[in-house]
């Protein structure tokens, strides 16, 4: 099942309008869910939570709101608990540019916020600390 890719600007408009609050899987695919291990019924709540984080960094000069799109994922690590992430990708190629984990569920780094990126070919986190550090990386002051 394919989904509509929105630019980051379009995604934010849809998010603010409440469009993604709909529990329909079709709508959640439109929100950018590409993989999940949680219950389908959890997706709207997770979209809302991740959307709040996305809004906090979307104004960054590192994010091109007209040429990037958003992917959402719910991960199941071998050791730890389910956790969510969102990625900014090139809308044409779907190549991921940044992947952001607001709160890791991996046992050895439980609760750590991370940014992974194309800048170092995703070899190690660009940030691995707190959400405040993630916002600092994206040059957001509030």
pLDDT in tens, 84-136: 999 999 999 999 999 999 999 999 899 999 999 999 999 999 999 999 999 99
Residue 142 in domain: no
Q: Which domain holds residue 16?
A: 8-137
Cα separation of 100 and 72, whole Å?
Answer: 10
Tell me the whole-structure pTM to 2 decimals.
0.92
Residue 57 in domain: yes
Residue 3 in domain: no
Residue 2 in domain: no
- Enter the tokens of residue 36: 């999940």
CA angle 83, 66, 18 (to 5 degrees): 55
Cα separation of 77 and 142, whole Å?
Answer: 31
Q: What is the mean pLDDT of the chain?
A: 94
- Sheet strand arrangement including 127-129: 33-35, 68-75, 83-90, 96-101, 113-117, 127-129
Residue 1 in domain: no
Q: How many structural domains compose the chain?
A: 1
């Amino acid at each position: 099942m394919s989904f509509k890719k929105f630019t980051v600007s379009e995604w934010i408009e849809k998010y603010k309008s409440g469009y993604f609050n709909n529990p329909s899987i079709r709508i959640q695919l439109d929100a950018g869910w590409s993989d999940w291990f949680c219950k389908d019924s959890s997706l709207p709540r997770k979209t809302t939570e991740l959307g709040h984080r996305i809004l906090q960094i979307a104004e960054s000069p590192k994010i091109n709101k007209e040429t990037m799109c958003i992917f959402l994922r719910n991960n199941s690590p071998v050791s730890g608990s389910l956790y969510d992430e969102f990625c900014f990708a090139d809308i044409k190629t779907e190549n991921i540019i940044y992947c952001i984990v607001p709160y890791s569920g991996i046992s050895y780094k439980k609760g750590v916020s991370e940014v992974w990126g194309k800048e170092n070919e995703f070899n190690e986190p660009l940030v691995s600390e707190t959400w405040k550090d993630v916002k600092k990386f994206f040059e957001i002051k509030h």
